[in-house]
Structure 1
Amino acid sequence: MSTHELFHTLHQLSRQLTNRLNEALKPTGLYSAQWAVIYVLKNKGSLTQKELCDYLFVEAPPMTRTIQRLVKQGYVTQVPGRDKREKHVQLTELANQEYPKWEHIVNSVNHELMRDFPIESREQFLKLQKSWLQQIL
């Protein structure tokens, strides 16, 4: 297999997973990019926009738009930090209330996508991904 084929296939897989998740989340008014921010904030707590960008490997302009949409929806709030230019992004009580519903949808999509993979293959795939990610960071 060529390197190009590997990366092309990864890109196709990523797009397919994103599209499936977007379709499942559509009734909630969220997209996968918004879910990613919500998930990180739920698991890591309050973060700056820069920390979110760095963690999710997203450029500042699209992250700004995503955060603005989440603020408008009432799911995140921005709290001033010590530095006037720095704002911490955190989940609102509304987001914390809605989180189990969103998580259920995401878990259902994930389960459906992985249902034909044996557990050993899933574990091996996850281990490989984590190893690869550590190497390129």
Structure 2
Amino acid sequence: MTTHTLFHTIHQLSRELTKQVNDTLQPFGLYSAQWAVLFVLKTKGSMSQSALCEYLAVEAPPMTRTVQRLAKQGYVGQTPGEDKRVKVIHLTEKAQQAYPEWEQAVLSMNDRLLECVPEEQRVFMQSMLNEWLGKMKGDLHE
């Protein structure tokens, strides 16, 4: 197997997972990029827009568009940070109330997608992917 084949498969898997999330969240008027922001804010708390960009490996212009769409939907608010140039993004009460329904839809999708993967392989994949991602992010900052 060549590395081209491996990375092509990973890329195709990523695109298919994005499509599945989009299909799952479509009834709520959300897309995968929005879900990523909502999930991070829910699990990690309020963050600056630049920290969101760095954490999710997204460039500033698409992140700005995503945050603006979420704000227009009433799901995130923005407050100035200590440095007035910094915007701190947080979930609104509306998002906090709707989040459990979104999360349940995504969890059901996850369960469906992993039905054919034994628990032992899931644990291995999680460990391997966490380690690989950590090394990649560490290498990028060295």
User: What TM-score does the superposition give when structure 1 sets the normalisation length?
Assistant: 0.99
Give how far 1:81 is off.
0.8
Give how far 1:134 is off.
1.1
2-structure distance, mates of 1:44, 1:24: 23
Aligned residue in 2 for 1:85: 85
Say whether residues 1:115 and 2:115 are aligned partners. yes
Identity of aligned residues (%): 58
Give how far 1:93 is off.
0.1
Aligned residue in 2 for 1:13: 13
Amino acid at match of 1:35: W
Which stretches of structure 1, 4 residues or longer, exceed 2 Å deviation after superposition? none
After superposition, the CA RMSD in angstroms is 0.5
Amino acid at match of 1:78: Q
Say whether residues 1:25 and 2:25 are aligned partners. yes
Report how many residues are paired: 137
1-structure distance, mates of 2:101, 2:11: 28
User: What TM-score does the superposition give when structure 2 sets the normalisation length?
Assistant: 0.95
Amino acid at match of 2:24: A
Give how far 1:101 is off.
0.2
Secondary structure at the counterpart of residue 27 of structure 1? helix
Give how far 1:84 is off.
1.1
Aligned residue in 2 for 1:60: 60
1-structure distance, mates of 2:121, 2:44: 28
Say whether residues 1:70 and 2:70 are aligned partners. yes
C-alpha deviations, 1:101-128, integer Å up to 9, x for none?
0000100111110001000000000111
Consecutive unaligned residues of structure 2, counting only runs of 5 or more, are 138-142
